[in-house]
Copies of this chain bind each other. A is one copy, B any other.
Amino acid sequence: MTTQHVIATYAIETSFPLAQAAEVLAGEQSTGTFVRVERESDDLRARFAAQVESIQEVPLTGSSALPGFIGDPSARRRGILRLRFPLDNFGPSMPNLLAAVAGNLFELKELSAIKLLDLELPSAFADRYAGPGFGVEGTRRLVGRPDGAMIGTIIKPSIGLAPSELAEVVGELAEAGVDFIKDDELQGNGPSAPLAERVRAVMPVLHRYADRTGRMPMYAFNITDDIGMLEANHDLVVSAGGTCVMACINLVGLSGLEFLRRHAEVPIHGHRAMLGAVNRSDQVGIGFGAWQKLARLAGADHLHTNGISNKFYETDEEVLASIAAVRTPLLGLTPTVPVLSSGQWGGLAHATYRAVGSTDLLVLAGGGIHGHPDGAAAGVASMRDAWRSAASGESVDDALDRSEALRRARELFGPVRV
């Protein structure tokens, strides 16, 4: 028995006094029934129940109350609540941790909003879970890019390419000088393009390129599938000389990622597909800040954070907070590489670098590379020129003066973010 605790931070809303709503939430962690029962002593409650650590009232967001809320919607208050849970209740087990900090509490009708924002985890979790096996350094070593932003891309079109076409695309991208290529999350293991056929099509192209140049781009094969197939899918990639596997974390589950990690001999590219289902609402679900800690603990070497000026719903502020979160040290684990994607091109490098202050990033451009007016090589050059310029302290104007590839990219994707 230890005295370690987990502290969970929530945004809540209620028409009850905030302190009372907090007690309902904490109490759901103890007896979980609607009447006090035998053997439920004050001592038991004191030892096992969650305790309110702090509550701070904050302004309402303007979003409507969750369905099923009991109370006067116009009397709602919003608070940031920190609850303390005894680790001994669940032990350093991610699934059982979630039962406590993210279980039935989303169903409480006393709350008109309840979102888990952050988790403070004790060191026992790092004793049980190894975290990333490669991270920033291991990925840089495998792609042969000791410094500077790592530049990557996604196979486009996402689905529908025959193996021979896929081989062609990969050949072009390798020649273009890209560090990293990934399958789309839509490209799993369907009959139209089974993983085994993709591996057979892609790896010889990469090997021929590597034999000639001494460098092999990292290709993240999407091995997402039933748990019982993850090990075999991984082995298929590794035995063909592949250097990365991609898993859609929410689709195999955080537990599925952790299972894969115990077997993995190459970096795991962690895709966040389906995260919006729990992360987009400000009224319910699990925020990226909490989720990314679990994904890192479970072993994600690379983790999608989105990028600024993206085509999805997140603001630049939210994206930058996500990148910062992934870069924040966690329990001594190997650092995970933030993966910036969606609508990315060279013209976002300076603004991103100014905010992030590091090139320990994997920046993915799909259209920004495939769709460059002068082709993929110019697309990669425009990205690399822009990131090198940004990291050296140059202005955007200097970068545009020096790089024709960036100027040409601007014609199609502009304006440049300053």
Binding site for B on A (CB under 8 A): 1-2, 29-40, 44, 47-48, 62-64, 66-69, 86-91, 93-96, 98-100, 102-109, 116, 154, 156-161, 165, 169, 184-186, 188-192, 224-228, 248, 250-256, 258-259, 262, 273-278, 280-286, 311-315, 343, 366-367, 370-371, 412
Bound CA–CA A36/B44 (angstroms): 62
Our pick among B48, B253, B254, B262 for the contact of A159 (Cβ within 8 Å) is: B48
Our pick among B30, B35, B157, B286 for the contact of A37 (Cβ within 8 Å) is: B157
- The answer to whether B280 and A255 have CB atoms under 8 Å apart is no
Our pick among B2, B157, B253 for the contact of A255 (Cβ within 8 Å) is: B253
Q: Would A277 and B285 be within 8 Å (CB), given that A68-B314, A190-B93, A225-B95 are in contact?
A: yes
Q: How many chain copies does the complex carry? A: 2
- The answer to whether A106 and B44 have CB atoms under 8 Å apart is no
- The answer to whether B68 and A312 have CB atoms under 8 Å apart is yes
Q: Would A95 and B161 be within 8 Å (CB), given that A64-B62, A102-B277, A256-B255 are in contact?
A: no
- The answer to whether A159 and B69 have CB atoms under 8 Å apart is no
Q: Which residues of B contact A277 (CB under 8 A)?
A: 102, 106, 116, 278, 284-286
Please give the distance in Å from A316's CB to the nearest CB on chain B.
11
Bound CA–CA A100/B259 (angstroms): 23
Please give the distance in Å from A52's CB to the nearest CB on chain B.
17
Bound CA–CA A90/B95 (angstroms): 27
Q: Would A104 and B185 be within 8 Å (CB), given that A39-B157, A281-B281 are in contact?
A: yes
Q: Would A156 and B252 be within 8 Å (CB), given that A68-B315, A95-B224 are in contact?
A: no
Can you list 22 contacts pairing A with B, beta carbon distance less than 8 Å? Answer: A30-B158, A32-B156, A32-B186, A32-B366, A33-B158, A33-B366, A35-B371, A37-B366, A68-B315, A90-B188, A91-B188, A91-B191, A95-B224, A98-B274, A99-B185, A99-B248, A106-B274, A109-B313, A116-B277, A228-B258, A253-B255, A281-B281
